[in-house]
Structure 1
Amino acid sequence: MVVGEDLEQLRLLLWNRKDVEITEEEALALYEANRQWVDRASMSERERRFFDELVARHGRGVFHG
């Protein structure tokens, strides 16, 4: 998947990468590894839904953050 502008917080976590194409598993790992920078309350509705779907699908309902 290509991380677009609609996933603002995830895109910020990719600041040091030239390529913004990642898997969903990598996206969840980035959210978890950078949990101190992730503010779910300030996420757009679209990113919040995406985040919740990642946790449900790849985190088995648990966010390790």
Structure 2
Amino acid sequence: MIVGEELEQLRLLLWNREDHAITEEEALALYEANRQWVDRASMNERERRFFDHLVARYGRGVFHG
């Protein structure tokens, strides 16, 4: 997947990468590794749904953050 403007917080976590193509598993790992910068309450609706999907599917319902 290519991370675009609609996933603002995730896109910001990719600041040091030229390529914004990542897997969903990598996306969850980035959210977790940078948990101090992740604010679910300020996510737009699309990113919130995407984040919840990642946690349910790859985190087995648990966000390690």
Look up the match of 2:16. 16
Query: Once the two structures are aligned, what percentage of the paired residues are identical?
Result: 88
Aligned residues: 65
Unaligned runs of 5+ in 1: none
Look up the match of 2:57. 57
The CA deviation string for residues 5-64 of structure 1, in whole angstroms up to 9 with x for no partner, is: 000000000000000000000000000000000000000000000000000000000000
Residue 57 of structure 1 aligns to a residue in which SS?
helix
Alignment RMSD: 0.2
Look up the match of 2:38. 38
| Paired AA for residue 58 in structure 1 | Y
